[in-house]
Chains A and B, each alone.
Chain A
Amino acid sequence: MKINKLYLVLFLLALVAPTVLYPVFLMKVLCFALFACAFNLLLGFVGLLSFGHAAFLGTGGYVTGAMMLHTGMGPELSILAGTVAAGLLGAVYGKLAVKREGIYFAMVTLALAQLAFFFYLQSPFTGGEDGLQGVPRGSLLGMIDLSDNMNMYYFVLAIFIFGFWLIHRTIHSPFGQILKAIRENEPRAVSLGYNVNDYKWVVFIISSALAGLAGSTKTLVFQLASLTDVHWHMSGEVVLMTLLGGMGTIFGPVVGAGVVVTIQNYLSGGELGNYIHIIMGLIFIVCVLAFRSGIVGEFQKMMKKNFG
């Protein structure tokens, strides 16, 4: 029951956090945390390194942005549409990508994501280099005004908790058992009669839909959908967040996203802004060389060693 208490404490902290910290910053952390958790579902629990997850984040963002700007739909339906769109794209991309393994899987996802990037760069509805600006946040169920940052924060928190719960449930489900089996020993899973590609495909769809959910939510928060979100830099950043926080742990990506977003926010305002990529690169190198299990992973190891 220790873990339940931990969840409760974290939940309470999340509830009071916006009274201390800037809500938009917290919302950014939550969006990226959800994105990284979705990514980690593939990398940490099935062993699939997708290098094209920005495509799903961006798709969610653009679709939600366009819906809010051009149709009369509310934020909840627009977010749903963005999520479904990312899931559908994930179904197509995933079907192609799961046929390959290891580095080839990463390359296929990267290539497909670049296709998406150029599509969004050229299509008229995305605003090209400018992106979709001035996306209204609307009001939830027509009642709660989301342009208020506090309202928006709790809405984002609810979305994050839903996404986090779904990932947690997926990992601890009969389906999740097979995923772990595939990660641990794929030929054996095949020899036990499982069509592993089908399982990879389904989890790819779940992961891409949740990445889309993160992107949709992010668009509402910043009232902006831009090319940054579909750029391959973003696909790399989510790898960094996940590895830094601890791949294959449930909290790792959340911590990793928190750390990365904090560093970026802190640096981009100051004199070191120009060096941001160098600094992130150095952090990545240190992480890979010195603590491979990531922050949460190393912490768990330490706990196990000293108290287990």
Chain B
Amino acid sequence: MSADYVLETRNLVKEFKGFTAVDDVNLKVERGTIHALIGPNGAGKTTVFNLLTKFLTPTTGTILFNGKDITSMKSAAIARKGIVRSFQISAVFPHLSVLENVRIALQREEGNSFHFWKSEKVLDKLNDRAVELLEEVGLKDYANTITVDLPYGRKRALEIATTLALDPEMLLLDEPTQGMGHEDVGVVADLIKKVSANRTILMVEHNLHVVAQLADTITVLQRGAILTEGDYATVSQDPQVREAYMGVEADDEVANAIAAESAATSAAEKESVK
């Protein structure tokens, strides 16, 4: 059976002044799957994301989307093609209402985004669709709240609703559960599962519980290069991965998970200090 790849990179390299952040990465993301990118801090996961969405320009290598070369396209054009990304820090428009956040994404298709002479009331016809999307992520009751007042977990949910508004073929999620408490992690994980229907998702994630629960394929990065690839069972048993990920060889999977949990918790603490 020949696999159907939505997104493919060929020999992707990114160098920053003598330092190679991404080293010859050949990533293949199969259509309709959830693909996780994991690895220790500084492994180049976010850099890969930035390359894929052209927030950074690759030094060498090609990026293919549905078989077409998109290496030279700009960020906004890639988004219009159907690859929409999220960010490590929740990407919302804080001083707009929750409804307006979603509407900004819906507005793009309307083709009136340069119409400075029209009243914004013309956007009201998008409200129903926006409320539907908010309902999908459980934010319907918050439609008129100013986004900055939302709790962190709900901001991430809003971000997902905004992304879904574009109906993207592919979602790139950069640490969607970072900085969350236990209850929120579960909610967001379920949400990701839900929105993965008919879509392909590539995610960077530190929380191995979430990865185990969601990912069909896992790629482990270390120092910018791919260490190994496979499903959770394969990857988690790989001694190389254990060493790279934990720094030391861990006893068993439980130890792995505990470490990941504590990493997530400390990240959450850091976030709340901010």
Q: Which of B93-101, B212-220, B246-254 contacts A (4 or more CB under 8 A)?
A: B93-101
Q: Are A173 and B117 in contact (CB under 8 A)?
A: yes
> Does chain A have a CB within 8 A of B46?
no
Q: Are B80 and A193 in contact (CB under 8 A)?
A: yes
Q: Are A181 and B55 in contact (CB under 8 A)?
A: no
> Does chain A have a CB within 8 A of B166?
yes
Among A172, A177, A189, A202, chain B packs the most CB atoms within 10 A around the CB of A177
Q: Are A175 and B76 in contact (CB under 8 A)?
A: no
> Does chain B have a CB within 8 A of A8?
no
Q: Which of B91, B94, B115 contacts A174 (CB 8 A)?
A: B115
> Does chain A have a CB within 8 A of B204?
no
- Per-residue CB proximity of A164-187 to B under 8 Å, as 1/0? 000001101111111011001101
Chain A residues lying within 8 Å of B85, measured Cβ to Cβ, are 191
Q: Are A191 and B91 in contact (CB under 8 A)?
A: yes
Among A189, A202, A203, chain B packs the most CB atoms within 10 A around the CB of A189
With A173-B116, A175-B116, A178-B113 in contact, do A190 and B166 touch (Cβ < 8 Å)?
A: no
With A177-B123, A192-B108, A194-B108 in contact, do A169 and B94 touch (Cβ < 8 Å)?
A: no
Chain A residues lying within 8 Å of B84, measured Cβ to Cβ, are 191-193
Chain B residue at minimal CB-CB distance from A195: B76
> Does chain B have a CB within 8 A of A284?
no
With A180-B96, A202-B114 in contact, do A188 and B76 touch (Cβ < 8 Å)?
A: no
Q: Are B118 and A174 in contact (CB under 8 A)?
A: yes
Among B74, B108, B112, B120, chain A packs the most CB atoms within 10 A around the CB of B120
CB distance from A119 to the nearest CB of B (A): 30
Within 8 A of A (CB), among B41-88: 53, 55, 74-77, 79-80, 84-87
**CA of A28 to CA of B102, assembled, Å:** 43
* Interface size class of chain B, counting residues whose CB lies under 8 Å from the partner chain: 35 or more
**CA of A180 to CA of B77, assembled, Å:** 20
Q: Are A188 and B91 in contact (CB under 8 A)?
A: yes
**CA of A188 to CA of B94, assembled, Å:** 11
CB distance from A198 to the nearest CB of B (A): 8
> Does chain A have a CB within 8 A of B3?
no
**CA of A180 to CA of B92, assembled, Å:** 12
Q: Which of B79, B115, B116 contacts A191 (CB 8 A)?
A: B79
Q: Are B116 and A177 in contact (CB under 8 A)?
A: no
Q: Are B120 and A185 in contact (CB under 8 A)?
A: no
- Per-residue CB proximity of A248-261 to B under 8 Å, as 1/0? 00000000000000
Chain B residues lying within 8 Å of A199, measured Cβ to Cβ, are 113-114
**CA of A178 to CA of B111, assembled, Å:** 12
Q: Are B123 and A184 in contact (CB under 8 A)?
A: no
Q: Are A193 and B120 in contact (CB under 8 A)?
A: no
> Does chain B have a CB within 8 A of A206?
yes
> Does chain B have a CB within 8 A of A196?
yes
Chain B residues lying within 8 Å of A176, measured Cβ to Cβ, are 116, 120
* Interface size class of chain A, counting residues whose CB lies under 8 Å from the partner chain: 20 to 34
> Does chain A have a CB within 8 A of B107?
yes
With A169-B116, A170-B116, A180-B96 in contact, do A187 and B91 touch (Cβ < 8 Å)?
A: yes
**CA of A206 to CA of B107, assembled, Å:** 22
**CA of A176 to CA of B107, assembled, Å:** 12
**CA of A193 to CA of B74, assembled, Å:** 10
Q: Are B93 and A185 in contact (CB under 8 A)?
A: yes
Chain B residue at minimal CB-CB distance from A196: B76
Q: Are A177 and B87 in contact (CB under 8 A)?
A: no
Q: Are B93 and A194 in contact (CB under 8 A)?
A: no
Q: Which of B79, B95, B103, B110 contacts A193 (CB 8 A)?
A: B79
CB distance from B164 to the nearest CB of A (A): 12
> Does chain A have a CB within 8 A of B9?
no
Chain A residues lying within 8 Å of B87, measured Cβ to Cβ, are 187-188, 191
With A192-B84, A192-B104, A195-B76 in contact, do A175 and B115 touch (Cβ < 8 Å)?
A: yes
Chain A residue at minimal CB-CB distance from B118: A173
- Per-residue CB proximity of B172-186 to A under 8 Å, as 1/0? 000000000000000
**CA of A173 to CA of B110, assembled, Å:** 13
CB distance from A66 to the nearest CB of B (A): 29
Q: Are B94 and A192 in contact (CB under 8 A)?
A: no
With A173-B118, A173-B119 in contact, do A185 and B91 touch (Cβ < 8 Å)?
A: yes
Chain A residue at minimal CB-CB distance from B84: A191
> Does chain A have a CB within 8 A of B105?
yes
**CA of A185 to CA of B105, assembled, Å:** 13
Within 8 A of B (CB), among A260-307: none
CB distance from B145 to the nearest CB of A (A): 15
Q: Are B103 and A177 in contact (CB under 8 A)?
A: yes
Q: Are A191 and B103 in contact (CB under 8 A)?
A: no
CB distance from A83 to the nearest CB of B (A): 16
* Chain A to chain B contacts (Cβ below 8 Å), 20 pairs: A169-B119, A173-B119, A174-B112, A174-B113, A174-B122, A176-B120, A177-B113, A178-B104, A184-B96, A187-B91, A188-B87, A188-B91, A188-B92, A191-B85, A191-B87, A191-B91, A192-B79, A193-B166, A199-B114, A203-B116
Given contact pairs A170-B117, A193-B166, enumerate 8 new A-B contacts (beta carbons under 8 Å). Answer: A175-B115, A176-B120, A184-B94, A192-B84, A193-B84, A193-B108, A195-B74, A195-B77
Interface residues of A (CB under 8 A from B): 169-170, 172-178, 180-181, 184-185, 187-196, 198-199, 202-203, 206
6 A-B pairs with least C-beta separation: A193-B79, A184-B93, A175-B116, A188-B91, A193-B80, A170-B116
